[in-house]
Structure 1
Amino acid sequence: MLIDGHNRVVDYLRVSVTERCNFRCQYCMPEKPFSWVPKENLLSYEDLFKFIKVSIDEGIKKVRITGGEPLLREGLDNFIKMIYDYKSDIDLALTTNGYLLPRVAQKLKDAGLKRINVSLDTLKPDVAAKIAQKDVLGKVLEGISKADEVGLKIKVNCVPMKGINDNEIIDILEFCKQKGYVVRFIEFMENHHAKDGAKGLSSEEIQNIISKKYNFKMVPRDTSSPAQYFELEDGYKFGVIEPHKDDFCAACNRIRLTAEGYLIPCLYFEDAMSIKDAVQNNEIDKAVEILKEVLRTKPEKNKWSEEDSSETSTRAFYETGG
């Protein structure tokens, strides 16, 4: 069992396999040029798996593959199969923008993937093109449909932005409700890589918009989840992720590994330690020591609490998978 310095059980590992992305979303990396970390700087799937395997042995029960856009890295289904073959009952999930899903959803499912989170910020092609700086909506919707068809469980993530897609919150909710997908609205997370002037909606603003059409009640929080869920009168549940609060930090159960081998104890924390040399040299015991040291120094809560709402992250979310 993995325990951090605040006596929290850590059983959730998020693994970024690439920082590359085929979108240029305004809230993430709109000005990022198409220049990337050289492939030789990234950990191979084999080296990533060495660490995942020992992490599972130490108590990790859930592994989520992230990016960047993870489907841009070739052979991802083989990597997923490596994890699944090692422990078939592991909670194995993927976060994606959905654009490449139509051609790989079946392979991912066959490899052992169980669940996906897909970004869907709008149902309007022109708005999607404005957000992602690319004509993407048709492929994203096709990808979601294909994932559903092959039997992957689906959650939808939506980041409402003022003056861009804030008038579609009800539409997104009803689309997901009709399809049977859980939707989570995410407060915009201020970061130095977002478009200047980008403004998101607060949880209260999101709830106020939904309340104009639907009555709902708050659901008791699963403290390990970053989302606060609400239930409509017909039983459908939607979530809101509030990074500016630290309610969920008390039971935070996650740690992050980047494609270059950096272990990050918190999305909003600038410090990290590298396990790259240890796994490449097959010094697995040393990698475990680094893991436990990162857990020991894992912060008690994030730096974006309401008491210090001016905090802006310098960490690129496309490196850490959000």
Structure 2
Amino acid sequence: MLIDGHGRKVDYLRVSVTERCNFRCQYCMPEKPFSWVPRENLLSYEDLFKFVKVSIDEGIRKVRITGGEPLLREGLENFVKMIADYKSDIDLALTTNAYLLPKAAQKLADAGLKRINVSLDSLNDEVAAKIAQKDVLKTVLKGIQAASDAGLKVKVNCVPMKGINDGELVEIMDFCKEKGYPIRYIEYMENQHAKDTAMGLNSEEIQAIIREKYNFKMIEREGSSPSQNYQLEDGYVFGIIEPHKDDFCATCNRIRLTASGVLIPCLYFEDAQSIKEAIQSNDIDKAAAILKDVLANKPEKNKWADEEGNETSSRAFYETGG
């Protein structure tokens, strides 16, 4: 069992397989040039898997593959199969923008993937194109349907932005209700790589918009989930992820590994250690020791939740998978 320095059980590993993305969303990386990260800077799937095995053996029970956009890395289904074959009951998931899912969904499901989280910030072609800086909506919707058809459980993430998609929040929820997908609205996380004019909605503003059509009540969180959940009168449950709230980090059970082998204890803080040398030299004991040291120094709270508040992260979310 993995326990951090504040007594929290850590059983969730997020693995970023690439920092590249085929979107340029306003709240993430709108100005970053399209580029290739040199292959030699990345851990191979085999080396990433070595660390995943270490983590599972130490107590990790949930693995989520992220990016950037993870489907941009060729052969991702092979990495999925490595993990699924090693521990068939692992909670194995993927976060994606769904643009490449039409051709990939069935291969991923066959390899052992169980769930996907999909970004869907608009159901309007022009608005979706404005956010992603690319004509994406039709292909994204095809990707979501392909995942569902392949038997993958689908959850939708939406980042509400003022003056952009804030008029669609109920429409997106209704789409998800009809399809049977849970939806989570994510408060915009301030970061230096986002568009200067990007402004998000906080939880109270999101709730006020939804309340214009629906009555709902707050319900308990699911385990260590970062989402505060709410239930409509018809039983449908939606969530809001509120990183600015003081209690957001209280049950944090996550740790993150980048494609280049950097192990990150907290999404916001810069503190991190590399496991690349240990893994590539097959020093598994050293990799396990680094894992435990990083956990021992995992901060109690992210800086969005501290007393000062409203800080801007220099962490590139496209490197860490959010």
| Counterparts of residues 213-292 of structure 1 (less than 5 Å) | 213-292=213-292
Aligned partners of 1:223, 1:244: CA distance in 2, in Å? 19
CA contact (8 A) 2:242 2:248 kept: no
CA contact (8 A) 1:192 1:312 kept: yes
Residue 48 (structure 1) aligns with: 48
Shift of 1:216: 0.2
Shift of 1:306: 6.0
Shift of 1:245: 1.2
CA contact (8 A) 1:223 1:250 kept: no
| Counterparts of residues 53-132 of structure 1 (less than 5 Å) | 53-132=53-132
Aligned partners of 2:154, 2:101: CA distance in 1, in Å? 12
After superposition, the C-alpha distances for 1:275-311 in whole angstroms (9 at most, x for unaligned) are 0000000001000010000000000111101632221
Aligned partners of 2:163, 2:249: CA distance in 1, in Å? 31
Query: Percent same amino acid among aligned pairs?
Result: 78
Aligned partners of 1:126, 1:263: CA distance in 2, in Å? 38
CA contact (8 A) 1:255 1:265 kept: yes
* AA partner of residue 3 (structure 2): I
Aligned partners of 1:92, 1:233: CA distance in 2, in Å? 31
Shift of 1:249: 1.2
* AA partner of residue 138 (structure 1): K
Q: CA-atom RMSD, angstroms?
A: 0.8
CA contact (8 A) 1:19 1:36 kept: no
Q: Which range is displaced more, 174-183 or 308-317?
A: 308-317
* AA partner of residue 77 (structure 1): E
SS, match of residue 131 in structure 1: helix
1:175 aligns with 2:166: no
> For the structure 1 residues 179 and 110, does the alpha-carbon distance in structure 2 shift closer, same or farther, using more than 3 Å as the test?
same
* AA partner of residue 202 (structure 1): N
* AA partner of residue 21 (structure 2): C
Aligned partners of 1:36, 1:251: CA distance in 2, in Å? 36
Aligned partners of 1:230, 1:295: CA distance in 2, in Å? 31
SS, match of residue 312 in structure 1: coil
CA contact (8 A) 1:224 1:248 kept: no
Residue 186 (structure 2) aligns with: 186
| Counterparts of residues 297-316 of structure 1 (less than 5 Å) | 297-305=297-305, 307-316=307-316
After superposition, the C-alpha distances for 1:136-163 in whole angstroms (9 at most, x for unaligned) are 0000000000101111000000001011
Q: Which range is displaced more, 34-43 or 57-66?
A: 34-43
CA contact (8 A) 2:80 2:111 kept: yes
After superposition, the C-alpha distances for 1:119-139 in whole angstroms (9 at most, x for unaligned) are 000000111110000000000
Q: Name stretches of at least 5 consecutive residues in structure 1 with no aligned partner.
A: none
Residue 28 (structure 2) aligns with: 28
Aligned partners of 2:190, 2:304: CA distance in 1, in Å? 9
* AA partner of residue 184 (structure 2): R
Shift of 1:190: 0.3
Q: Which range is displaced more, 54-63 or 217-226?
A: 217-226
Residue 134 (structure 2) aligns with: 134
* AA partner of residue 230 (structure 2): F
Shift of 1:223: 4.8
Aligned partners of 2:223, 2:115: CA distance in 1, in Å? 20
TM-score of the superposed pair, with normalisation by structure 2: 0.99
Aligned partners of 1:89, 1:172: CA distance in 2, in Å? 32
CA contact (8 A) 2:248 2:305 kept: no
Aligned partners of 1:251, 1:165: CA distance in 2, in Å? 30
Aligned partners of 1:306, 1:182: CA distance in 2, in Å? 30
Residue 201 (structure 1) aligns with: 201
Shift of 1:222: 2.8
Aligned partners of 2:111, 2:27: CA distance in 1, in Å? 32
Residue 11 (structure 1) aligns with: 11
Matched residues, number: 322
Aligned partners of 2:10, 2:306: CA distance in 1, in Å? 25
Aligned partners of 2:271, 2:24: CA distance in 1, in Å? 26
